[in-house]
């Protein structure tokens, strides 16, 4: 009899714990949506655009120099002495390598700069997300944005579980509906590929 009572008591507490766990609030945010509305994100985007423009201009200058020297080589190559012709070919190959190296380095540098500039914004969002979740009783908060070209982490949720606007309000930003194309500042490479020598 005592065993039956203990079993019933454990079952009761097990159901009570399961019931309280089932009632925990789960929320989600859209990191891209929040970032796009932060004034600081616009400054980041402007700074990245300026840097990218500088890289693009330098890349185009290097390509133009290469093309000028290639055109001269193609025009006068037949009349050049073998030593001069070999030297010009070596110079063109070196320029082509430098252009490709610059393209790769500028792309990496731009990505690092984006990560560096976004880090304080992401930390601010994270801190405000934790405070908002605590204030509103959310036990778990997921990010709806899984990354470009991937399936979102949250596939379905009620709209009242989206706490993105609460976080924006907590940061002093009045939420505005965004156009579907809005997103975080994106990095792009300065150019697609190095020029090819004919």
Nearest to 38 by CA among 123, 110, 154, 112: 123
Q: Does residue 194 belong to any structural domain of this protein? A: no
pLDDT band at 147 (very low <50, low <70, confident <90, very high): low
| Domain assignment present for 7 | no
**CB neighbour list of residue 12: distance below 8 Å, 6 or more residues apart:** none
Residue 17 lies in a domain: no
Residue 193 near residue 57, CB atoms below 8 Å: no
Domain membership flag for residue 164: yes
Sign of the four-CA dihedral 59, 61, 66, 68: positive
Q: How many C-beta atoms lie closer than 10 Å to residue 52's C-beta?
A: 19
Domain enclosing residue 157, as ranges: 22-171
CA separation for the pair 96, 90 (Å, rounded): 10
Domain annotation covers residue 197:
no
Q: Residue 119: pLDDT above 70? A: yes
Please determine, for residue 44, whether its predicted confidence score (pLDDT) is greater than 50.
yes
Query: Mean of the pLDDT values across residues 131-154?
Result: 82
Q: Tell me whether residue 48 is in a domain.
A: yes
| Residue 9 maps to a domain | no
Helices 39-76 and 82-135, axial angle in degrees (round to 10): 170
Under DSSP, is residue 87 helix (H, G, I), strand (E, B) or coil? helix
Total number of domains in the chain = 1
> What is the distance between the alpha carbons of residues 180 and 164, in angstroms, rounded to a whole number?
16
Average pLDDT estimate for 9-27: 56
| pLDDT tens-digit map of 177-189 | 765 544 444 444 4
Residue-wise pLDDT for 24-41, tens only, equals 899 999 998 999 999 999
Tokens 């989600």 belong to residue: 28
Q: Is residue 58 part of a domain?
A: yes
């Amino acid at each position: 009899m005592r065993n039956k009572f203990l079993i019933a008591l454990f079952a009761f507490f097990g159901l009570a714990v399961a019931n309280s766990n089932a009632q925990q609030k789960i929320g989600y945010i859209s990191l891209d949506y929040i970032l796009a509305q932060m004034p600081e994100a616009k400054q980041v985007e402007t700074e990245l655009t300026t840097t990218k423009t500088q890289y693009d201009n330098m890349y185009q200058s290097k390509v133009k120099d290469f093309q000028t020297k290639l055109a001269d080589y193609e025009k006068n190559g037949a009349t050049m002495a073998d030593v001069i012709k070999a030297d010009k070919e070596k110079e063109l190959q070196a320029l082509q390598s430098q252009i490709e190296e610059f393209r790769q380095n500028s792309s990496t540098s731009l990505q690092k700069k984006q990560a560096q500039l976004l880090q304080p914004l992401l930390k601010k969002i994270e801190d405000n997300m934790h405070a908002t979740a605590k204030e509103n009783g959310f036990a778990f908060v997921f990010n709806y944005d899984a990354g470009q070209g991937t399936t979102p982490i949250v596939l379905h949720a009620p709209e009242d579980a989206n706490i993105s606007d609460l976080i924006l309000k907590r940061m002093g930003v009045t939420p505005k509906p965004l156009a579907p194309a809005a997103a975080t500042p994106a990095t792009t490479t300065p150019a697609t590929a190095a020029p090819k020598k004919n």
